[in-house]
Chain A
Amino acid sequence: MSTSSQGVSRRSFGKLAATAAVAAVGGTTLGACSTRGGTASPDAPLRVTAINHVWSHAIADRLEEIEDRIKRRVSLSMLTADQLTSSYNVKLNASATDVDVMMVRALQEQLLFAHNGWLVDLTDRVEGDAGFRWNDFQQAPRERSAVDGSVLSVPVVTERPALYYRRDLVEDFGGPPGTLDELMDLSLELADRRDNFFGFVGRGQRNGAVSQWSSFLYSFGGDFVVDGRSALATPEAIAAYEYYGRLLHETGPPGATNMSLEQAMPIFAQGKAAFYVDADAIYTNFLDPGVSTVQDEVGFAPFPAGPAGARPHNIPSWSLGINEFSLLRDDAWEFLRWASGPEMVAALQAEGIPGARESAWTDGGTLGSFPAELAETMRISAERGVGTDRPQVLQVARARDIVGRPLVAGILGESVPGVARDADAEFDEFLVRDNRYREG
């Protein structure tokens, strides 16, 4: 082959590659354009993307009801939390129309999705529909559903921390600890780490532990951000870091920094820990004889009081929103209205799924399915609850990574103040950048 023919071949290849690239760009752009302003086929199903959660399973059992109402098939897909986030990132970046109703974590991704313009503004629908009774939703979850005054999601599952404890072990000490000091003392007293028994178990992963640790932070009088600046190195925050770190370092299981819910929960369920603080929504794991060896001994208590009192979080863990690119917005709203309406929330709460409506919480009948001690714990936490368990920023994952660093240092038994000051400086820089993104 001659040089010239090789040159021609390369040029031809280059032209083809460029054409393919342009075609791809064009295709993407055209694809994006075609999704806006189109109409859905009458046969197209309403697509609901949800977390694999008891709430979703309960809704899946009732889909016929809404299908009759909207005269359209409903397709419900369930994914894990990570899969759900990745799926939204991929699909909505391509302006996809194959998601109508989105289950979202209002505190984790709502600000970012709002920034990206991925969620429909529901303000007029929720406030303009008298039968929906928007004011019936608890104040804290309701506030977290709005961004800059626009309601972008409707909370369907709420969550508070509960102190799970072993009745048989605390009997001699006069019952479960009411304060964080008592929790520390009892955990130290009951731990027998050589015999593989732990005083306290809880989440210890840098990122994953932040939400549960928030109740410790609030109860020590701290917060993530004060007046727009990082508050990670305040005496209160450092005390909360040191407390939680010591609790896990001295009384917790080995490998705690690799523990999220999936690793920590079985340790308590298998009877290897005296205390466990985590979401109240997971209580069924400890009552199921197939998973738990402590179903007869497990007790439920409100989050213990710290120097600033007991200030657990009370958050909308899962909410429903509508995809901005959906071609079935009216049907999607009908689904939301049905799935988060007063009747449905009361019915699901009566099955043990805590919702966000005041009417359900004041109706004694809806709490009947919860163990009495847990129902009281939930009621108290809902009253005292702080509406967030993580920094309210666009990049929540990055913020949690920064906030969690001193926590990990504490759990590893390292000195906390230096790491907290370093994290504080990094968090301050992060907040400036996050604000810039928000304004831009």
Chain B
Amino acid sequence: MATTSTRPGGRRTAGTPRTFEQANRRLKWAMLAPALAFVGLMIVFPLLFTLNLGFTDAFGAVNADRSFVGLRNFQDALSDTRRFWPAIERTVVFTVGAVAVETALGLALAMLMRRAFRGMRWVRTILIIPLLTTPVAIGILWLLILDPTNGVANHILDSLGLPTQEFLGSVSQSLPTLMFIDVWQWTPMMTLLLLAGLSTLPEEPEEAALVDGAGPWQRFRHVVLPMLMPTLMTALVLRSVDALKTFDILYATKGPGGGSDYEVETLNVYAYGLTFDYQEYGLASAVLVLFTLFIIAVVVLLRRRAGRKEA
């Protein structure tokens, strides 16, 4: 039977058999089903389950009896000035500090590597080595290098006549040291992303600026940077979200609780501790929900800024 579309823009056209269209629609869902089932099972269900746990007093075992406690876990988390708020502060300090340095260094390196030079392939290969190494291996490597008693770093400082440092053994030096390690590991990624962005920029605007007498800094500030902004903001969002969620390197170097004075306990480390060390699943879920909202807020903020810059 031939039919005619009644909806503007509808997919059904004159002469399309209804059965074929129905089959096509079913096929669409059938093709989508595995992906949707995966998303449902691996993302939606855990998120809903975590949200549900956040409103209960779940403790000890997830499958044990639990009672609905309303917003109590959220209140407990938000009023916790001993662990929760300092963890937020450290998360922000770690992310902003590390990502800012990574962006600046990444941009500088990308600008330096923009023009082809001899040995560029080697430099690029060396650059990605930290990216390919697992964070736990990096943690152990730096623990050995920075060991206050037997580490290479203090031997070098000592041989140069400089005062030795405690590095990860110190309450005050641990967070900056870990930010340094993060910079060491992730600056190459920023460099590669920005290098890819630079390679797509047209050369004419820069050449025109050169003809007009603009110096290197002016060309970079007023020509290259505005054109690179979309790539830069994307790289910034990706790296910021990743830095906010940093866990492995912190845990590998400082252990549970982020050190003896909680000196590197970020929100992620705190939530892990609540779950696996304290078995306080209700409170841990509330913290994770707040953490997710926090990350979403950061992404929205950065996207908005990116939109404004692009406009």
Partners in one complex: yes
Q: Residues of A at under 8 Å CB distance from B?
A: 1-2, 5, 12-13, 16-17, 19-21, 23-25, 32, 82, 85-86, 89, 92-95, 112, 115-118, 196, 204-208, 253-260, 263, 266-267, 270, 272, 394-395, 397-398, 401, 404, 408, 411-412, 437
**B79 at interface, CB cutoff 8 A:** no
* Chain B neighbourhood of A12, CB < 8 A: 29
30 residue pairs A–B, Cβ–Cβ below 8 Å: A1-B9, A2-B9, A13-B36, A17-B36, A17-B40, A19-B40, A20-B44, A32-B63, A82-B256, A86-B276, A92-B61, A93-B62, A93-B63, A116-B60, A116-B61, A204-B260, A255-B149, A255-B169, A255-B170, A257-B171, A257-B259, A258-B169, A258-B254, A258-B260, A259-B169, A263-B147, A272-B149, A394-B60, A395-B278, A401-B257
Q: How far is the CB of B165 from chain A (nearest CB, A)?
A: 8
In the complex, per-residue mask of B30-56: 1 if CB is within 8 Å of any chain A CB, else 0: 000100110111001100110000000
Are B45 and A20 neighbours in the complex by a CB distance under 8 Å? Answer: yes
Nearest chain A residue, comparing its CB with the CB of B59: A437
Q: How far is the CB of A420 from chain B (nearest CB, A)?
A: 15
* Chain B neighbourhood of A257, CB < 8 A: 169, 171, 259-261
Q: How far is the CA of A12 from the CA of B30 in the complex (A)?
A: 13
Q: How far is the CA of A116 from the CA of B66 in the complex (A)?
A: 12
**B166 at interface, CB cutoff 8 A:** yes
Q: How far is the CB of A254 from chain B (nearest CB, A)?
A: 4
Q: How far is the CB of B162 from chain A (nearest CB, A)?
A: 15
* Chain A neighbourhood of B230, CB < 8 A: none
Number of A-B contacts (CB under 8 A): 124
* Chain A neighbourhood of B257, CB < 8 A: 206-207, 401
Q: How far is the CA of A196 from the CA of B164 in the complex (A)?
A: 11
**Residue among A12, A20, A397 facing the most chain B CB atoms (10 A cut-off):** A20
Interface residue from B9, B44, B61 paired with A118 (Cβ < 8 Å): B61
Are B166 and A255 neighbours in the complex by a CB distance under 8 Å? Answer: yes
Nearest chain B residue, comparing its CB with the CB of A409: B261
Q: How far is the CA of A196 from the CA of B7 in the complex (A)?
A: 84
Nearest chain B residue, comparing its CB with the CB of A201: B149
* Chain A neighbourhood of B64, CB < 8 A: 116-117
Are A207 and B256 neighbours in the complex by a CB distance under 8 Å? Answer: yes
Q: How far is the CB of B37 from chain A (nearest CB, A)?
A: 6
Nearest chain A residue, comparing its CB with the CB of B65: A440
**B207 at interface, CB cutoff 8 A:** no
Q: How far is the CA of A157 from the CA of B62 in the complex (A)?
A: 30
Interface residue from B60, B62, B147, B255 paired with A208 (Cβ < 8 Å): B255
Q: Which of B234-279 contact A (CB under 8 A)?
A: 254-257, 259-261, 273, 276-279
Are B61 and A254 neighbours in the complex by a CB distance under 8 Å? Answer: no
Are A21 and B44 neighbours in the complex by a CB distance under 8 Å? Answer: yes
Interface residue from B7, B40, B150 paired with A21 (Cβ < 8 Å): B40
Q: How far is the CA of A437 from the CA of B58 in the complex (A)?
A: 10
Interface residue from A86, A95, A254, A404 paired with B149 (Cβ < 8 Å): A254
* Chain A neighbourhood of B149, CB < 8 A: 196, 253-255, 267, 272
**B8 at interface, CB cutoff 8 A:** yes
Q: How far is the CA of A397 from the CA of B279 in the complex (A)?
A: 10
* Chain B neighbourhood of A21, CB < 8 A: 40, 44-45, 48
Are B260 and A254 neighbours in the complex by a CB distance under 8 Å? Answer: no
Are B260 and A206 neighbours in the complex by a CB distance under 8 Å? Answer: yes
Are A397 and B9 neighbours in the complex by a CB distance under 8 Å? Answer: no
Are B40 and A16 neighbours in the complex by a CB distance under 8 Å? Answer: yes
Extra 13 A-B pairs, beta carbons < 8 Å, given A2-B9, A16-B37, A255-B166: A16-B33, A19-B40, A20-B41, A24-B40, A89-B279, A95-B63, A206-B259, A253-B148, A254-B149, A254-B164, A257-B169, A257-B261, A398-B278
**Residue among B64, B257, B273 facing the most chain A CB atoms (10 A cut-off):** B257
* Chain B neighbourhood of A394, CB < 8 A: 60
Q: How far is the CB of A189 from chain B (nearest CB, A)?
A: 20
Query: Known contacts being A17-B39, A20-B44, A95-B63, is A205 close to B260, with CB within 8 Å?
Result: yes
Are A25 and B45 neighbours in the complex by a CB distance under 8 Å? Answer: yes
Query: Known contacts being A93-B63, A205-B260, is A397 close to B277, with CB within 8 Å?
Result: yes
**B167 at interface, CB cutoff 8 A:** yes
* Chain B neighbourhood of A254, CB < 8 A: 148-149, 164, 166, 169-170
**B168 at interface, CB cutoff 8 A:** yes
* Chain B neighbourhood of A20, CB < 8 A: 36-37, 39-41, 44-45
Nearest chain B residue, comparing its CB with the CB of A270: B150
Q: How far is the CA of A23 from the CA of B246 in the complex (A)?
A: 32
Are B60 and A258 neighbours in the complex by a CB distance under 8 Å? Answer: no
**B10 at interface, CB cutoff 8 A:** yes
Are A112 and B60 neighbours in the complex by a CB distance under 8 Å? Answer: yes
Q: How far is the CA of A266 from the CA of B143 in the complex (A)?
A: 14
